[in-house]
Amino acid sequence: TETRRPLMAGNWKMNLNHLEAIALVQKLAFSLNEQQLEAVETVVLPPFTDLRSVQTVIDGDKLKIGYGAQDLSPYQAGAYTGDISGAMLAKLGCSYVVVGHSERRAQHYEDDALINAKVAAALANDITPILCVGEGLEVREELRHVPHCCDQLDAALRGLTAEQVARVVVAYEPVWAIGTGKTATPENAQEVCGEVRRRIAETFDQATADRVRVLYGGSVKANNIAAIMAQPDVDGGLVGGASLDAEEFANICRFPE
Ligand code: PEP
């Protein structure tokens, strides 16, 4: 079977200024050795205003830590006040960008068509989109979580080639588990991550599905990540709150030990 390199991505959300960002990246780099960074791809996703500083410290110290942004515009340039393009992020060395996080879907009314355009914009700029899907509590209680997540997935990947889809990272983030301390069980995570992969195999092909990394996100901590990572279709974590603490995030990245 395909070997997918585990990925731990820290979504800082709207936290840490550029000076605090530098300090956290340095602490994180100090906490993880070369072997650990080789075994588990480690990525930080700071606010836009921190990216130049994060780039400078990572490049300057040749740190094996990746970085990216939390959102991008679907457009390349133009009259879009307040927005940031994929081209700008690529120029800053971003390898990843979060697309369709539940907070943006809810707070900025991002719909499936916009998220589809943002995924395409990321890929067009050679940035890996971390596409978030996930159900709210009501949908979960009605046991409609699998079709709900597959519908979000279909919409976000519409029009892409299999080659493009293989480069996408999908993050399954049940909304009821984000920032609530309520982690999905490893079986809950596996169910949806497995169905996401199956759906990609159906729509595209099995080889593509085998290459796509599927992450779990929602109250991931150092003490629950190993059981989640033991699931066959979970390839990593999208970590919010716990990524703001260098030692905790380093411990998450050290899950194989
Ligand atoms: C997130 O928002 O991507 C997330 C998973 O947050 P937390 O880990 O804080 O639940």
pLDDT tens column, 17-44: 999 999 999 999 999 999 999 999 999 9
User: Residue 108 catalytic?
Assistant: no
Distance CA 157, CA 70 (A): 18
Is the entire prediction scored with pTM above 0.95? yes
Q: By percentage, how much of the chain surpasses pLDDT 90?
A: 97
Q: Ligand 1: which atom is nearest the Cα of residue 179?
A: 10
- Nearest residue by C-alpha to atom 6 in ligand 1: 240
Angle between helices 145-157 and 112-124 (to 10 degrees): 50
pLDDT in tens, 209-229: 999 999 999 999 999 999 999
- CA-to-CA separations, 208 to 164, 204, 211, in angstroms, rounded: 9, 7, 5
* Confidence at residue 3, expressed as pLDDT on a 0 to 100 scale: 87
pLDDT tens-digit readout, 144-173? 999 999 999 999 999 999 999 999 999 999
Distance, in Å, from the CA atom of 175 to the CA atom of 107, rounded to the nearest integer, reads 13
Hey, which bits of the chain come out as E strands?
Answer: 7-11, 41-45, 66-69, 96-99, 128-133, 169-172, 213-217, 236-239
Shortest-distance atom of ligand 1 to CA 217:
5
Confidence of residue 2 (pLDDT cuts 50, 70, 90): low
User: Closest Cα to residue 149, out of 186, 89, 92, 105?
Assistant: 105
Please name each of the domains of the chain with its CATH number: 7-253 (3.20.20.70)
**Whole-angstrom Cα distance, residue 131 to residue 9?**
12
DSSP state of 128: E
| Structure ipTM | 0.96
Active-site residue among 41, 110, 173, 195? 173
For residue 174, give the 3-state DSSP assignment.
coil
Among 7, 8, 12, 13, which is best to mutate for testing ligand 1, by the most ligand atoms less than 8 A from CB? 13
| 176 labelled ligand-binding | no
Q: What is the mean pLDDT of the chain?
A: 97
Q: Which of 7, 8, 11, 70 to mutate to test the pocket of ligand 1 (most atoms within 8 A of CB)?
A: 11
Question: Is-catalytic flag, 20?
Answer: no
Nearest residue CA, atom 3 of ligand 1? 240
Evaluate whether 195 touches 181 at the Cβ level (below 8 Å).
Answer: no
